[in-house]
Structure 1
Amino acid sequence: MTKVAIIGSGPCGLSILRSFQQAEEKGQIIPELVCFEKQSNWGGLWNYSWRTGSDQYGDPVHNSMYRYLWSNGPKECLEFADYSFDEHFQQPIPSFPPREVLYDYILGRAKKSNLKKYIKFNTVVNNVVFNDDQFVITSLNKKENSISQENFDYLVVATGHFSVPYVPEYEGMNSFPGRILHSHDFRDAEEFRNKDVVVLGSSYSAEDIALQCYKYGAKSVTIGYRNNPIGFEWPEGMKEVHYLDKLEGNKATFKDGHTQNVDALILCSGYLHHFPFLEESLKLKTHNRLYPPKLYKGVVWQDNHKLFYLGMQDQFYTFNMFDCQAWYARDVIMGKTQVPDDAEIEKDINNWVVKEEALEDSIQMIDFQTEYTKDLQVASDYPKIDFELIRTHLKEWKHHKEENIMTYRDKSFSSPVTGTVAPLHHTPWVEAMDDSMTTFMKAKSS
């Protein structure tokens, strides 16, 4: 029987498992599936841990989530086509839930589909080589301290690319008396109450961590950008300045000459696409972009059509895009979809890359990823979902952020699956200090 290895049981890994499970539900014979998960639980990044640095086995912590994290985009834009929020929660819920609520939703579909039976937990893949038309995978069961080697016909890399931080260095860091950390190790905004915080970066993580620190009582929050500012109208106590030049004691000097007292420096400098377990000929090498090179349909490794990467793009779309990628990969593996010849692959990849390089703003980027995701959807039997509505939602979401960065999470959107309009949350986000699912799901008291 054909054997398929999947590395990672986060949203992407669960998507590929679900795609095969759906095929089996339709009476099709599916391959033998083995999913390797180095953590003790599923859900990938959404599986929150207080740990930073190393886990209990001495391996680098995968998790980058933090307390008080709320969705920074409408939940409707990531909804599974085959498992709605209405089905999971049995009631409408607001559009911007906290992490625990989304994690519960992710696991709801996985549990309904009985996906855990395919997963080997506490098992890290140490080495992958491709020999004689098969992948030879060496793995370590950390709990039992036992090494195994297995052969597989196909490999799906679903490890994500938000777990290995890129950490730059600046003059004065070694003698800085305050706290320095990467966003990967940020866990609790309460730590920075009454402190002057500098956040370096202009990504979603920089934006959200800066807002978290402000919300939970930082004395001041200064965002340092390298190329372009985030550009929102920040509340009093927050500002954006040009990038950090140097640190002298507790004084930060920025490229525009601005100086600022600083107690804590948070590096939101991004992550690396890092696959140390793969031999060189199999490694995706890219920065964070909407269309990584050498991936046909953003999924199939150009040099080896038995290797698939899921979720390696910069993302406006997430869970349902991962699903579309997974359904496509499944159909290639099961022989229902044929990968074209090398010339056609090269032409298709170049076509998408040229389009990406011509993009000028986030609205065009949303359009690009919408068209990419729709292109994948029509290539498989992924259930119907209204991607045009999601496109509209994403553009409205961007507009709401530009109107007021403090209130965009208080808006409501409609489901692209059921049409349900989300209710307003009982508490404005800036006042909602409790991010537990229990409190979030409560109706507002009269």
Structure 2
Amino acid sequence: MAFDSVLSSKHVCVVGAGPTGLVSARELLREGHSVVVLEQNHDLGGQWLYQAASATATVHSSVYASLRLNAPRIYMEFTDFMFTPVEGRDTRNFPGHRELFLYLKDFARCFGLTELIRLNTEVVHVGMAAETGKWIVRSRDRRTDDGEFMEEIFDAVVIATGHFSLPRLPKIRGMEEWKRKQLHSHVYRVPEPFQDEVVVVVGGSLSGSEIALELVHVAKEVHISTKHSEIPQKFVKPVAKYAHLLWHQQIELLCEDGTVLFADGSSVVADTILYCTGYSYSFPFLDTKGVIHVDENRIGPLYEHTFPPSLAPSLSFVGIPNKFIIFRFFESQGRWIAQVLSGKRKLPSADEMMKAIEEVERHQELEEPKNFIQVIAELLEVMASLQVSNNS
């Protein structure tokens, strides 16, 4: 769907009031658009709004109590609103999660975003009205069990719901028969509930290693299971330091009696298995009649991680890359979307965008899998190109 080339104001719905939604709303406002931000929780912040959780809880945030930023402040700030230390708050260069939440609150107040946000509003349907090309957005008031439904029409929708809320679980033989506790790190908050337990932590990523090293102070034993055939370098020193912290290869079988059998032949009878195995993309409210395909690890087709060619520019996504969080990249996406919607910038044709997407996919299939640094470098290159174009 194409908009008129003349500069114009659009009525835009932003789904989500986390960092990506907030900065997108700010950029849309700057371009003169009318903006409504729909947020399902009682406050803004997205992932950075800490929520108590249990094994049966339904929560959005995956942040645990002790979590600190794994990137310095400079990578978690927007270009014209510095994440500088505030007296009386957490002034560390790698502060705790609440400090970033407070930064987002400050950002929203500074740019007049707070009054645009409808809290406790769950989006249940986003679909295009074929006859008008506009978007129908249905939402529900979450403050009551029989919450009132509302239907609204928008010129454009920006999806900014994040992708760290739907736990991805591995497929392990015996998983359904294993009757003891099985949890995902999505609902992990503090180590105390695991006091004197034998815990198996599945996954050696950032969350897996941090949580394992936290549990080691309360649990009877902590067993880390990863796909590596040799102990990962980051676990060498901790495993040597703590006699009750042990490393294993991936799980081969879960037995009804509580036994966990690993691929290296070792086994342990465990009380709890804690899966630190990542998250899947999920947009259950989005109906594009099959135009956009969503699976666990990928959503597409998206041009430059942002626009689905046949629905651009009236539908867009912010914050899809899942290997890192750099706020200025999200800001560049939001600015690009806002300027395309106003007519200040133009996208290539749908065919040209699809060809570009197919070319990227072809190279990805031919090349060796990229490491973390390569992914960051490529996305920073995209961010730089957007910044140059935005300023031109």
Which category describes the TM-score, using the shorter chain as reference length? 0.7 to 0.9
State the shift of 1:370 in Å. 2.1
Between 147-156 and 314-323, the greater mean CA deviation after superposition: 314-323
Q: Counterpart of 2:190?
A: 188
**Residue of 75, 78, 81 corresponding to 2:79:** 81
Q: Which amino acid is the alignment partner of residue 371 of structure 1? A: E
The change in CA–CA distance for 1:185 and 1:96 in structure 2 (over 3 A counts) is: same
Would the aligned equivalents of 1:8 and 1:37 in 2 still touch at CA under 8 Å? yes
Q: Is 1:288 paired with 2:286?
A: no
Q: Which amino acid is the alignment partner of residue 124 of structure 1? A: E
The change in CA–CA distance for 1:92 and 1:222 in structure 2 (over 3 A counts) is: closer
Between 302-311 and 218-227, the greater mean CA deviation after superposition: 218-227
Alpha-carbon distance in 1 for matches of 2:89, 2:143: 40
Q: What SS is found at the alignment partner of 1:181? A: strand
1:349-396 deviations in Å (ceiling 9; x for gaps): 2344455553443332332222222222223249xxxxxxxxxxxxxx
Would the aligned equivalents of 1:86 and 1:92 in 2 still touch at CA under 8 Å? no
Q: Counterpart of 1:375?
A: 385
Q: Which amino acid is the alignment partner of residue 362 of structure 1? A: F
TM-score in terms of structure 2 length: 0.85
Would the aligned equivalents of 2:90 and 2:96 in 1 still touch at CA under 8 Å? no
In the alignment of these two chains, the number of paired residues is 369
State the shift of 1:263 in Å. 2.1
Q: Is 1:71 paired with 2:79?
A: no
1:269-293 deviations in Å (ceiling 9; x for gaps): 222211111114354414436xx54
| Consecutive unaligned residues in structure 1, runs of 5 or more | 383-446
CA RMSD of aligned residues (A): 2.6
The change in CA–CA distance for 1:155 and 1:194 in structure 2 (over 3 A counts) is: same
State the shift of 1:148 in Å. 1.1
Of all paired residues, the percent bearing the same amino acid is 29
Q: Counterpart of 2:226?
A: 225
The change in CA–CA distance for 1:92 and 1:217 in structure 2 (over 3 A counts) is: closer
Q: Which amino acid is the alignment partner of residue 221 of structure 2? A: S
Q: Is 1:7 paired with 2:9?
A: no
State the shift of 1:198 in Å. 0.9
Q: Which amino acid is the alignment partner of residue 285 of structure 1? A: V
Q: Counterpart of 1:365?
A: 375
State the shift of 1:196 in Å. 2.2
Q: Counterpart of 2:286?
A: 278
Would the aligned equivalents of 1:54 and 1:61 in 2 still touch at CA under 8 Å? no
The change in CA–CA distance for 1:98 and 1:90 in structure 2 (over 3 A counts) is: closer
**Residue of 310, 316, 319 corresponding to 2:318:** 310
State the shift of 1:94 in Å. 2.4
Q: What SS is found at the alignment partner of 1:374? A: helix
State the shift of 1:78 in Å. 2.2
State the shift of 1:344 in Å. 2.1
**Residue of 253, 267, 280 corresponding to 1:259:** 267
The change in CA–CA distance for 1:171 and 1:353 in structure 2 (over 3 A counts) is: closer
Q: Counterpart of 1:136?
A: 136
Alpha-carbon distance in 1 for matches of 2:317, 2:199: 37
Q: Which amino acid is the alignment partner of residue 225 of structure 1? A: T
State the shift of 1:5 in Å. 0.8
Alpha-carbon distance in 2 for matches of 1:92, 1:255: 43
Alpha-carbon distance in 2 for matches of 1:114, 1:182: 37
Alignment of 1:44-443 (within 5 A): 44-52=46-54, 60-86=58-84, 93-131=91-129, 132-143=132-143, 145-174=147-176, 176=178, 178-214=180-216, 216-226=217-227, 230-232=232-234, 233-235=236-238, 236-237=241-242, 238-248=245-255, 249-279=257-287, 280-281=289-290, 283-288=292-297, 293-305=300-312, 306-354=314-362, 356-357=364-365, 358=367, 359-381=369-391
The change in CA–CA distance for 1:322 and 1:89 in structure 2 (over 3 A counts) is: farther
TM-score in terms of structure 1 length: 0.76
Q: What SS is found at the alignment partner of 1:380? A: helix
Would the aligned equivalents of 2:135 and 2:153 in 1 still touch at CA under 8 Å? yes
Q: Which amino acid is the alignment partner of residue 188 of structure 2? A: F
Q: What SS is found at the alignment partner of 2:40? A: coil
Q: Counterpart of 1:437?
A: none
Alpha-carbon distance in 1 for matches of 2:344, 2:110: 26
Would the aligned equivalents of 2:49 and 2:61 in 1 still touch at CA under 8 Å? yes
1:157-214 deviations in Å (ceiling 9; x for gaps): 1111111112345344455454210111111122223332211123332232223223
Alpha-carbon distance in 2 for matches of 1:198, 1:75: 33
The change in CA–CA distance for 1:378 and 1:208 in structure 2 (over 3 A counts) is: farther
State the shift of 1:218 in Å. 2.8
Would the aligned equivalents of 1:327 and 1:381 in 2 still touch at CA under 8 Å? no
Q: Which amino acid is the alignment partner of residue 162 of structure 1? A: F
1:269-324 deviations in Å (ceiling 9; x for gaps): 222211111114354414436xx541112111122001101111123243222111
Q: What SS is found at the alignment partner of 1:125? A: strand
1:94-119 deviations in Å (ceiling 9; x for gaps): 22111111211122111211211111
Q: Counterpart of 1:439?
A: none
Would the aligned equivalents of 2:76 and 2:83 in 1 still touch at CA under 8 Å? no
Q: Counterpart of 1:400?
A: none
Q: Which amino acid is the alignment partner of residue 313 of structure 1? A: P
Alpha-carbon distance in 2 for matches of 1:344, 1:230: 43
Q: What SS is found at the alignment partner of 2:108? A: helix
Q: What SS is found at the alignment partner of 2:47? A: helix
Alpha-carbon distance in 2 for matches of 1:62, 1:39: 8
State the shift of 1:123 in Å. 0.9
| Consecutive unaligned residues in structure 2, runs of 5 or more | 1-8
Q: Which amino acid is the alignment partner of residue 49 of structure 1? A: Q
